[in-house]
Chain A
Amino acid sequence: MKLPYLPDFDHSSFFDFLVRHHPSLVSGGEKSLSTGRAMSAGQMTSGAPLAVPHATTVLAVKYRDGVVIAGDRRATEGFQIADRRIEKVFKIDDWSAMAIAGAAGPCIEMAKLFQTELEHYEKLEGVPLSCEGKANKLGQMVKANLPLAFQGLIVMPLFAGYDVKRGEGRIFKYDLAGGRYEESDYHAIGSGGKDARNTMREHFRKNMAEADVLSLALMALYNAADDDVGTGGPDLVRGIYPTAKFVTAQGIIDVSDEKIRAVYDGLIATRRSREA
């Protein structure tokens, strides 16, 4: 007998529910899986263009109270700038945030799906998922997107969560196959990720204060924008600045535009004085 709204399903995962009952709503559902299999062998094996998600720098750095997660604002279409104000850092729930690199559409969809997933689990089970559990679930979602990644629609998340049980912030990076790797101090992904990591490697210290870690994160983004065409720097004319969030025991705290502008004003003044 068919019951309205009582489908035959008994898991606490919203993602699995969509895959089973509404596959058209989820990348990695049955339809996209079949198109994935239809790819030619040549495309499947030419892994080179897959290796690097393009046109973004997002990063996460641990500090005394948790993790700061930040990203630039530029979206590109080939050699054109598609959007100057796009948001790449998302609050997922009260203790976690993620930043994304890759194709904008699927990236934003995955962030939204992940938000729903965690809220759904919390409501059904009465308790939120553990930090580790959230990181693993995100890995499964990245894995489900693999067929689309072969078609060029890459989604590459960077996950920052506050582990309430351990009382510390944690950073997880992923590979295209859904592999999940924990980073001990900091990480950056996207086309400017390497440049950002170089900056952080030079200046990172354990247990930094909030103001110091924010300047480090923003400086790393600035340097990445300096060397990478796909990464947008601070736009002084339009007043568009990178976005950042603190992931702490108190929740996810948005860093205000004024605060970020003040850091960049200082940084730019220092750089300018070197040119004189």
Chain B
Amino acid sequence: MPLPYYVSPEQMMQDKAEYAKKGIAKGRSIIAMEYTDGVLLTADNPSSSLHKISEVYDNIAFAGAGKYSEFENLRKAGIRHADLKGFMYSREDVTGRSLANAYSQSLGTIFSQEIKPLEVEILVVQVGVNHHPNEIYRISFDGSIIDEKNFSVIGGKAEAVQSILKDKTSTEPAALGPALALCVSALEQTANLKLSPEGLEVAILDRNRVGRKFRRLSVADIGRLLSG
């Protein structure tokens, strides 16, 4: 029988974290930003069919960075969780906070118990209605969860994008057009390339909509907002 080799837990966690971080940094960034009527989600995504941003429930959206197959699984699990809760109780009982908690639990369990951690970073965003504030939760590969204000960045060169946005945003949210322009310029600066509307995936949670607040912006919509 081969002798089980010993690795200190500290070393193991460190290795896992490094591995996950490397995977996530390979991708491109996604920004969630509050604007006057809700929350804007902008992703540098050249594919028009493989989405990084998705609707979860009436007021809630999801964005995932890192390995597609892994955050896609998390996205589906989130939608099931939300639909089940809405069906069992009522639509208003589905909250971003409970969803973010569930994600945190899952990611934390996988990080500590599996050999390979998930190489993902995700955002759970809820638009506030009836004068409630918006909620933005950033959840990392190890299940750590951070409640952010104004804006949040995941994936790719997240820290670089974050430092650009920090200087340019004020506490008062901007209108949709300027907010989108700001997000796009921050993504362009860190990626060092010009992003066309075709290379962007943009969606909003608009609190003025009735029922389901999530809407994807078409290439034409994005072009109009950026030129306007």
Rounded to whole angstroms, the CA-CA distance of A123 and B94 in the bound complex is 16
How far does the Cβ of A32 sit from chain B's closest Cβ, in whole Å? 17
Indicate if B215 sits at the interface (CB-CB under 8 A): no
Tell which of A3, A4, A25, A124 touches B79, judged by Cβ atoms closer than 8 Å.
A124
A5–B105 contact, CB under 8 A?
A: yes
Q: For chain A, give the interface size range.
A: 20 to 34
B83–A4 contact, CB under 8 A?
A: no
Cβ–Cβ < 8 Å partners of B80 in chain A: 5, 7, 9, 14, 17, 120
B106–A6 contact, CB under 8 A?
A: yes
**Which of B11-19, B49-57, B128-136, B189-197 makes up part of the contact surface?**
B49-57
Cβ–Cβ < 8 Å partners of A105 in chain B: none
Cβ–Cβ < 8 Å partners of B77 in chain A: 5-7
User: Footprint of A on B, CB under 8 Å?
Assistant: 49, 51, 54-56, 73-74, 76-81, 83-84, 86-88, 102-103, 105-106, 109-110, 113-114, 212
User: Footprint of B on A, CB under 8 Å?
Assistant: 1, 3-7, 9, 14, 17-18, 22, 25, 112-113, 116, 119-120, 123-124, 126
In the complex with contacts A1-B113, A17-B80, A124-B79, A112-B87 CB distance below 8 A: yes
B56 to A, closest residue via Cβ: A123
In the complex with contacts A3-B109, A5-B106, A116-B51 CB distance below 8 A: no
Tell which of B54, B55, B87, B109 touches A4, judged by Cβ atoms closer than 8 Å.
B109
B79–A5 contact, CB under 8 A?
A: no
A4–B105 contact, CB under 8 A?
A: yes
A14–B83 contact, CB under 8 A?
A: yes
In the complex with contacts A17-B80, A120-B79, A6-B73 CB distance below 8 A: yes
